Amino acid sequence: IRHEVKIEEKSINDSEKENASAKPVKLKKVKTIKKDNEVEKVEGDLSNFPLSSDLQKKLQARGVKALFPIQIKTFHHIHTGKDVIAQAKTGTGKTFAFALPVLTKLENSGIDGLKSGRKPKVIVMAPTRELVSQIASDFESLISKNLKVLSIYGGVSYEKQTTALKNGVDIIAGAPGRVRDLINKGHLDLSKIEYVILDEVDRMLDMGFSDIVEEILSYIYPSETDKKGPQTLLFSATMPNWIHNIVKKYLKPDAIKVCLIDENGSKAASTVEHLAIQCPWRERAGTIPDIIRVHGGGNQARCIIFCERKKDADELASHSAMKSDCHVLHGDVPQEKRELVLKKFREGKYSVLVTTNVAARGLDVPDIDLVIQCHPPKDVEDYIHRSGRTGRAGRKGVCICFYEPKEKYDLQKVEKLAGFTFKRIFPPSAASIIEANLNDTIEAFKSIPETVCESFKESAIKLIEQFGAEKAMALALAKISGKVEELKNRSLLSSMEGFTTYMLTTNDEIKFKGYAYSALKKYISTEIVEQVKSLQFVKGRKSLVFDLASEHDESISTNWVDSNFNKLTKLSELPEIEKSEERNGGFRNGGQGRRPGGFNDRKFGMKRSFGGSFNGGNQSKLVKFDQ
């Protein structure tokens, strides 16, 4: 990771001389012997930091053997009392970056965590309930027995929170709205705060919390001119102007900025593969389960699906094609149920979560294999933070973005602003779905005890006797996979079910799309040819790709004859499309090219839909991919 990021440390103060006290982190080099070879411990090794043995054991129990770059680069500064502004991509371990040094300092200060009615020493503010809950959970997994953590957010009763405050707490993780309410009602006293931590600061601004946050900060800091207030730590993926204003108002002049984002590189996590698939909305529920199987690594893949609207999330989660352990999470779901759904999702009892932006930030759910975004977000930061739910803590992940032809500009905008290029993919073929299900079945078979297998042998013999060995096994695999109906093709161009994508190739450059019609009609009936859809140039313009209803596959296979000049191929993978096609939703110059011999589309009774479809004559039968 360290070779892929730009690491910068600098003072907020313009004068470099005032930075003389801000020394770089000093890491000891510890050597050990392994298999007779002398090796040097990694920079982030836990023994390189002043962590208590108890804290190290708890980290190791969570599978943490070394700190990540953002944690390495901030630990010394926070531990020595510096104010810090840290900028890093999502999924890089920002929570532990502030939790570990702060907890270490609290333990060393000899804080009396048993005193009743004690005032909090640490306050962490974050924009969403889910992130607040996650931060509190992370602190609780690391603290000693004499420290108390309290999460504060809306949507739940005040009573539990006010009772905990009366009994005394040391660390508060809170959402700005409920924190302000408890202050105004006299339940929360921040007069003893020693550490102020703002997490996902840019998101708090996006969600309209800036005024509330500044009101809360005014209760903690003596004045804007008196910089003797608590140690302040800001963590964010981006740095809008509001953050700079907060820095000027509340942080000390020698505050340290740590940046692990290369401004000229990708702003998304480098551990995530970004894919895009064109698919109309009405086809998505049927396509997504196969996408999860093939691109998520199997039927048991853990996946988060993001929708733009709560209504869309509800409809998708309840669709018959979705798995039974698929659950929905958004703002209209009661808080108690939201917490239960998240708990079961973290535990692996639910494998698919359909949600809105409510879960886009801060959720650190282990082992998310796949993130699906049902539309390209208008705000590129939303895309970055959604995709960051996978590929966390150094693991690899996949993010797939669905789009319609009219959303191609939004997709290109994400590419430009986020600094990466989507790999365009197509819907899984029947063969790839079958292979994914087979791999799932093989892994499942390995986990079945031999005693269980013995119990079913007699039934297996009966099946073989009735159907034959191969057919019995094929039927069993179909049933296990849930594919008991005929497997239908999906268009590689539009993801429409029941369509096959073909490619017509010639020896010379094709000038007009109409050439495809004249070439096809030599062997295929006019009735079939006039049903051609989504006709597009392949890069180089020596080939055209298009869709036809799969019901015509047999007729085309029987009647078409390749020549020295024209070849027709049924595609299983889509070649690179001419760039001008992508800009125009599948057609050059709005699709008004002429056919050879001077015949235009209107003479042949052909109509085009917005998404670049063809349909013969009848306007009411158009397939519009933009709906």
- Tell me the mean pLDDT per 10 residues along the chain, length 627: 40 39 39 39 82 90 88 95 89 89 88 77 92 92 88 91 93 95 94 94 82 92 72 88 87 91 69 91 88 85 91 90 84 85 87 80 75 91 86 85 92 90 88 85 88 92 93 89 79 89 94 93 94 93 95 94 93 82 45 36 35 35 32
CB atoms within 10 A of CB 443: 12
Give the residue from 320, 153, 316 showing the smallest Cα distance to 329. 316
How high is the pLDDT of residue 358?
Answer: 65
Assign domain 8-259 to its CATH superfamily: P-loop containing nucleotide triphosphate hydrolases (3.40.50.300)
How high is the pLDDT of residue 112?
Answer: 60
Q: Which residue has 């297996």 as its token pair?
A: 460
Give the residue extent of every domain in the chain. 8-259, 272-428, 432-481, 499-621
Give the residue from 525, 258, 295, 278 showing the smallest Cα distance to 403. 278
Q: HEC profile for 52-110?
A: CHHHHHHHHHCCCCECCHHHHHHHHHHHCCCCEEEECCCCCCHHHHHHHHHHHHHHHCC
SS3 state at 135: helix
How is the beta sheet containing 195-199 ordered, strand by strand? Answer: 8-11, 256-259, 84-87, 231-236, 195-199, 122-125, 171-174, 149-152
SS3 state at 282: helix
Sort 554 into a burial class: Cβ within 10 Å, 0-12 / 13-18 / 19+: exposed
E strands present in 486-532: 499-505
For residues 74 and 98, the answer to whether their CB atoms sit within 8 Å is yes
SS3 state at 37: strand
How high is the pLDDT of residue 226?
Answer: 60
Q: Which residues pair with 501 in a beta bridge?
A: 547
515 alpha carbon, distance to own chain's centre: 42
Which residues neighbour 616 within 8 Å (Cβ) at sequence distance 6 or greater? Answer: 527, 530, 531, 605, 606
Q: Which residues pair with 584 in a beta bridge?
A: none
Q: Which CATH class is domain 272-428?
A: alpha beta
Task: State the Cα–Cα distance between residues 193 and 232, nearest whole angstrom.
Answer: 10
Which residues neighbour 531 within 8 Å (Cβ) at sequence distance 6 or greater? Answer: 548, 549, 552, 614, 615, 616
How high is the pLDDT of residue 33?
Answer: 36
Task: State the Cα–Cα distance between residues 311 and 259, nearest whole angstrom.
Answer: 38
Task: State the Cα–Cα distance between residues 511 and 563, nearest whole angstrom.
Answer: 19
Establish whether domains 272-428 and 499-621 are of one fold: no
Q: Regarding the domain delimited by 499-621, which CATH topology (the fold level of the hierarchy) does it fall under? A: Alpha-Beta Plaits (3.30.70)
For residues 161 and 209, the answer to whether their CB atoms sit within 8 Å is no
